[in-house]
Chains A and B, each alone.
Chain A
C-alpha cells in the first residue's frame, strides 16, 4: 500500500532558527514529490515539486531534498519567520496508467515559530 509518513508531527522553534521536516514514502512507481504549505484556515499552496532525477530544489528560504533510493525527502527552512507557522504537507505522486497521477498525502507537520 502506498504510504507517506511525515515527522515530526509538530514542531516549535524560535524565530530566526532553522528546521528540517522529514517525509518517508513507499509510493511506487514514483512520479514526483511535492511539498505544500497550508496556513490555518486556507488551502495548501505548492512550495516545491521534484521528479525522480532531481535531488534538491529551493524556493526562497525553503529547500527540499529528495533521495529516491531511500525514498526520503526533507524540507529545510532557513532563518524561520513568524509567517512560516503553518502545516507542511508532503505529497507523493504515483504514476497511474488508468487515471493519470494518483496522489498520496502525508498527514503534515505542524510548525509553530515563536518570537
Chain B
C-alpha cells in the first residue's frame, strides 16, 4: 500500500497563476483533508471531505477550492495564487482514527 500520495512535491508559481494539487489514498478511507503548514502556525485545515460527494470548509478556505473526485482522490485548486499561499500543503485521510498524512507539497508563490 502506498498510503497517501501527493503530487507534485514542489511547485513554484507566479502571482495570479492557477494550479491543482493532487492527493490519492489507497486505504479505502471515507474522510480526506487538506491542511497547510506554516512556520510557527501549526497545521491548519483548509477543506475536508467526510465522505465521497461531500466537501466542507475548514479554518482557512479562502482562495482555495476542492473536488472529491471519487473515494480515492481529493484535489485542491488555487485559482489565482497569492504570495500568502506560500506554504507546505498536506493531504490526509482517515476513518476517524488516526489520520494518515501524505508527504506534502511545498508551494512557493512569487
Contact = CB atoms under 8 A, between A and B. Distances in A.
Contact of A101 (B44, B96, B101): B96
A44 B90 CA distance: 9
Interface in B74-101: 90, 92, 96-101
A49 B102 contact: no
B12 interface: no
A99 B50 contact: yes
A66 B100 CA distance: 22
A110 B27 CA distance: 30
Contacts, number: 43
Interface in A79-115: 89, 99-101, 103, 105-108
Judged by DSSP, the binding face of B is strand
A32 B50 contact: no
A105 B42 contact: yes
A43 B50 CA distance: 20
Contact of B40 (A46, A103, A107): A107
Contacts of B4: 43
Interface of B: 4, 31, 40-45, 48, 50, 56, 90, 92, 96-104
Given A43-B104, A89-B42, 14 more contacts: A34-B97, A42-B103, A42-B104, A43-B4, A43-B90, A43-B103, A44-B101, A45-B101, A46-B99, A49-B97, A99-B56, A100-B31, A103-B99, A107-B41
